[in-house]
Amino acid sequence: MKNSRFSAKAVLLHSSNYRETSLIGTFFTDKYGLVKLVVRAAKTKKSKFSSIKAPGAVFDIEFGGKGELKNLYAAEIVDSIIIDETNLKIHLYLHEIIIRTLELEAPVQAIFESLLNLMKEIEKIGDSTQKEFKLRQFEFQLLSELGYEFSLSHDCNGKLIEEESFYEFIPSQGLKETSKIDQNYVSQGSSILRFKEGAFENEQSKKFIKYIMRSSLDTISTKPLNSSKFFRLNKDAN
């Protein structure tokens, strides 16, 4: 983007200290994808950006400048998602996969809208299995939008997935029929087809679908996803 002034809807995904009173914020916007912005004087008492780190806030922002690191000129909260403490780690995970899989200033409006919708949905869902299913759906959409989609109806050789057959997942290829029987890394075709239709078949299906999404995301991520280690999603989101 050239040195101009831009406006967009945005959420703050991450911030870090910059000099004594400012921050550098990584924002996810509807029009411009990820942008890194200097939020000047954000840590001062009378800052106009005092609400910039409000959890769940959705902003209308104005920004501009040269290079990858630009300046935030204005930010107004236009929507707010009330985040339950029990869901905080799920939101942090969503922020992380966006930061680690998207390139700066690459517009992906469909993902932006899906992220906001999912953030709101998570707060309305009480069932942990349904929360997990929504997360897996979002991960699959993200992979598809970035050009890393794999088929859930055909194996890597173009053959229809069969309910009674067993499949392993190879990130660079997709699903591959196998004679191996491994509890974590192999699944029966029926489980894959049920997920495609909108549900988990059983606990093993949940583990396998999580494995194929995470291994795919790790393949395209700028760094290995650390949420499983630090946010303990196995306990909180699954």
pLDDT computed for residue 236 by the predictor? 38
pLDDT digits (tens, 9 = 90+) for 153-185: 999 999 999 999 999 999 889 999 998 776 678
pLDDT computed for residue 180 by the predictor? 79
DSSP annotation string for 37-67 = EEETTTTSTT-TTTTTT-TTEEEEEEEE-SS
Q: What structural domains does the chain harbor?
A: 5-80 (2.40.50.140), 85-236 (1.20.1440.120)
Rg (CA), the chain: 20
- What are the residues whose beta carbons fall under 8 Å from the beta carbon of 45, sequence distance 6 or more? none
pLDDT at 215 over 80: yes
| Helix/strand number for the chain, H first, E second | 7, 8
pLDDT computed for residue 166 by the predictor? 94
Least trusted range by pLDDT, from 19-33, 149-163, 224-238? 224-238
pTM for the whole thing? 0.88
pLDDT at 234 over 70: no
pLDDT computed for residue 66 by the predictor? 86
pLDDT digits (tens, 9 = 90+) for 109-148: 999 999 999 999 999 999 999 999 999 999 999 999 999 9
